Chains A and B, each alone.
Chain A
C-alpha cells in the first residue's frame, strides 16, 4: 500500500472507501479561508471559496510532488472520493433555492414577464459581447464555443458546449470560475456598477453570472435579490439550452 492509496482510495475494495482525506482537506482549506477573510477585514482575494480552491490545489500539488506522481492521478486517488461526497450535496442545496423564491412569490408573480424578457434579451447581448471579446483576444473557434454556454449550470453547459464544437472540460472550468469569481467580486462589482438600485436586476445578474453560489450571495443581500437569483438559475439554463446553439450556428462556429 502506497501513501497515495492510503490517503483515500475508495475504489480499492481491500482498503474500503477511505474518503476522509478529501472531506478533511476541503474543510481545512475552507476554514483557513474564513479565518484569513476575517483577520484581513474582508479582503476580496481572501474569500473563503477562492482561498479554499487555490490552497486545496496547491496542497494537492505539493503532495503529488512529494509522492512523485502526476497531479491529476493524485487528485483522483486521494481527493476525489471525499470531494465527490461533498459535491453530491450541491443537489439538495440547489433545490433548496425554492424556499427563498417562494418566500418572495409576490415579486415573481408581479414581474414574471419582465424577468423572462430580461434574461432572454440580456443573454443574447452577453453572447455577442463574449463572442467579440474572445475574437478580439485571439481565441480560436473551439475555445469560443466553449465560452458561450457558461451561464447555464455545468450539467447543461457541458453537453451544449460539446454539441456546438467546444471542449466540455473548458466549459466546466468556466462555470466553476464564474462561481468563484462572483463570490469574490460581487460586492465590488455591485458597488462600481451601482447594481443595487434595482434589486430585481441585481438578483437576476448574480444568479446568471454566479450560478448557485451567486444565488447564495444574493440571499445575503436581501430577500428580493435571493428570490430573483433563484429563478435566474433555472430560467437562464433553459434560455442557454434554446439560444446558444442557434447563436453559434449563426456565427458559423460549427
Chain B
C-alpha cells in the first residue's frame, strides 16, 4: 500500500510530463464521463459532475490506469489558478445583492455575521474533532498518528 505511494513519487522524475494536449484530453474525458454519471443520481441525493470527476480521477490514479506524469502538470496549474477562477463567483453576487436587503437591512447584516461565524465554526470544529479522533486512535488503539 505504502509502496504504491512511494513508487508513484519515484516515477515522477523518471518521466517527462505528457504533452499538454494529452493532459487536457484526459481531463475532458473524465469530465465528460462524469457528466453522464451525474444525472443517474436521484434528485433528492444530488452529486454534481466535478465531485464524481474527482473520485473518478482518483480511482484511475489509484488503479494505475492513469499515471501521475500524464496529468500532474495540468492539475498543478489549475490548482494554482483556483483563487482567480473564483472571481466570477464572487462578482456574481452583484446580481443577487437584494437577498441581503429584502428581509430588512438588519437581517442582511445578521446573515453576513452568521456566514462569517459559520465559516469559522466549520473550520475549527472539523479540525478539533479530527484532533480528538486522532487522540483516541493514539491512546486507545495505540496507532501511530505521525504523518509527514
List of 10 A-B pairs having minimum Cβ-Cβ separation, nearest first: A53-B90, A201-B130, A83-B88, A155-B48, A98-B57, A205-B127, A122-B129, A94-B50, A95-B53, A96-B75
Q: For window 146-177 of chain A, which residues contact chain B by CB distance below 8 Å?
A: 147, 150-151, 153-156, 159-160, 163, 167, 169-170, 172-174, 176-177
- B residues contacting A by CB (< 8 A) are 1-2, 4-6, 8-9, 27-28, 30-31, 34, 43-51, 53-58, 60-62, 68, 71-72, 74-76, 78-100, 103, 107, 110-134, 137, 145, 147-148
User: What are 30 A-B contacts defined by CB distance under 8 Å?
Assistant: A56-B91, A60-B94, A72-B96, A86-B85, A89-B81, A89-B85, A90-B85, A90-B86, A90-B89, A91-B31, A92-B27, A98-B75, A101-B54, A103-B8, A118-B129, A122-B126, A139-B114, A155-B46, A170-B99, A182-B123, A183-B83, A183-B86, A185-B120, A205-B124, A209-B122, A209-B126, A213-B83, A214-B123, A222-B148, A224-B148
Residues of B within 8 A of A245 (CB): 44
- A residues contacting B by CB (< 8 A) are 22, 25-27, 29-30, 48-49, 52-53, 56-57, 60-61, 71-72, 75-76, 79-80, 82-84, 86-87, 89-107, 109, 111, 114-115, 117-119, 121-123, 125-126, 129-130, 133-134, 137-140, 143, 147, 150-151, 153-156, 159-160, 163, 167, 169-170, 172-174, 176-183, 185-186, 189, 193, 195, 197-202, 204-206, 208-210, 212-216, 219, 222, 224, 230, 232-234, 237-238, 241, 245
